[in-house]
Amino acid sequence: MNLLNHRYGKARVRLMKVSRQGAQHSLKELTVSVLLEGDFGASYTGSDNRLVVPTDTIKNTVNLLAHQKLGQENEEFGALLGRHFLDTYPQVRRVEIELSERVWDRLICAGKPHAHSFQGGTTARQLATVACTREGSVVESGVAGLLILKTTDSGFEGYLKDKFTTLRETNDRILATNLQAKWTYSGRPRDYVAANAAALSAMLDAFAGTYSPSIQRTLFQMGEAALKAVPEIAKVSLSLPNQHCLLVDLSPLGVENKNVLFVPTDEPHGLIEGTVSRG
């Protein structure tokens, strides 16, 4: 019997860091996962744990380095963690760090952002993945769980029809999706926070400002917009579930429903995915 592949680590290490600049506080909440690949086969096949870094040690490392080094750029913290495990343990060949951030917004009090009080933002989470080897690293950023919707400027016509087709064509419909997007950097931007914000802003502008003949077309336009906005991004991968808003039939009640009343539903949903690159 052969062990084809293996990796292990610590998942869902949760932490919250308060940074204080006088009376002004900043808050960052992360969930971090660390996976190690390397010379650990003997622990699987021969009960030999001498090279195994305990997952509790991995957790403690994340916490200590977060206390000392975590700043605004999650990608930079991920790279720092990756370098630490490679530099500290020669048996490690590859480290993959996943970081997911819950965003907290400042409370508005007396019309001004409060110095140290916050409220939970949207369900969206900011993502970063850093894969490190001794030859280099690959950085990927993104967003998950961002629910976006527009009430018009979307349609779906001219599609294949057969005996199974019941969907009616339309050039005016609600378009809603739970955006999942990841973009891979070919080089380090001057500021990851600013670059990520620019990429997301460009995608949302494309979603809101362009007529959508299909989610497939909108996906490409959103990916294209991110690539134009941030030259350091090499490719963008998007997943756009079509969260249908179904027109309520009021005709049995003698009322014509002209795109006013809908039933929002997220299951079952269409799922459109794709990757847009520079070449």
- Residues labelled catalytic: 10, 55, 244
Q: What share of the chain is helix, strand, coil (3-state, %, to 5)?
A: 25, 45, 30
Alpha carbon distance 200, 139 (integer Å):
16
Kind of pairing between the strands at 8-21 and 233-242? unpaired
Alpha carbon distance 112, 253 (integer Å):
49
Q: At residue 91, what are phi and psi to the nearest 5 degrees?
A: -75, -10
How many CB atoms within 10 Å of residue 56? 9
Residue whose C-alpha is closest to residue 146's, from 173, 182, 113: 182
**DSSP string over 128-156:** EEEEEETTEEEEEEEEEEEEEEESSSB-B
Residue whose C-alpha is closest to residue 128's, from 68, 192, 59: 192
